[in-house]
Amino acid sequence: MIDRRRLESGGLILFLAIITLGLMLVVSSFAGALLWAVLAAILFQSLFQWLLTRWPGRRNLAAAATLLIIFIAVIIPALAITGMVVDQSAGVYAKIQTGQIDFATYFKQVHDGLPQWVQRPLDRAGLGSFDRAQARIAQGFRSSFQSIAAQALSIGRNAAAFLLAFGVGLYVTYFLLRDGERLAPAIRDALPLQRDVADRLLGKFVSVVRATIKGSVVVALVQGALGAITFWIVGVPAALLWGLLMALVALLPAVGPALVWGPVAIYLLATGAVWQGVVVIVSGVAVIGLADNILRPMLVGRDTGIPDWLVLVTTLGGIEVAGLSGIVVGPLVAALFIAGWQILTEQREGRPVANPDARDAPPA
Closest CA to 300 of 188, 217, 193: 217
What is the structure's pLDDT at 67?
92
Task: Provide DSSP, 170-205.
Answer: HHHHHHHHHHHHHHHHHHHHHSSS-HHHHHHHHHHH
Instruction: Mention every residue, 6+ apart, whose C-beta is less than 8 A from residue 115.
Output: none
Tallying the residues shown for the chain, one arrives at 364
User: What is the per-residue pLDDT for 142?
Assistant: 56
Pick the closest to residue 208 from 354, 38, 76, 347 (CA basis): 38
Q: How far apart are CA 14 and CA 7, in angstroms?
A: 10
* For the chain, counts of helices (H) and of strands (E): 17, 0
Query: CA 261 to CA 102: how far, in whole Å?
Result: 19
pLDDT at 66 over 90: yes
Q: What is the pLDDT of residue 295?
A: 73
Please state the rounded mean pLDDT for residues 51-66. 91
Model pLDDT, residue 1 = 47
Give Cβ neighbours of residue 146 (< 8 Å, ≥ 6 apart): 93
- What is the pLDDT, as a whole number, of residue 99? 62
Query: What is the spatial distance between Cα 135 and Cα 338, in angstroms, rounded to a whole number?
Result: 43
Give me the mean pLDDT over the 17-32 stretch.
87
Confidence band for 356, pLDDT divided at 50, 70 and 90: low
Q: What does the pLDDT average to over 204-213? A: 81
pLDDT in tens, 313-336: 888 888 788 777 787 888 888 888
| Nearest to 20, CA basis, from 204, 205, 182, 190 | 190
Whole-angstrom distance, CA of residue 3 vs CA of residue 11: 12
245-297 pLDDT per residue, tens: 888 888 776 667 888 888 888 878 877 778 888 888 888 888 888 877 777 66
CA–CA gap between residue 295 and residue 298 (Å, rounded)? 5
pTM over the 0.75 mark: no
Q: Does the pLDDT value for residue 140 go beyond 80?
A: no
Which H or E run contains 278? helix 274-282
Distance of CA 340 to the CA centre of its chain: 23
- Measured CA distances, 144 to 89, 139, 241 (Å): 10, 8, 12
Closest CA to 38 of 241, 217, 162, 179: 179
**CB-CB contact of 188 with 199 (8 Å):** yes
* Tens-digit pLDDT profile for residues 166-188: 888 889 999 999 988 888 788 88
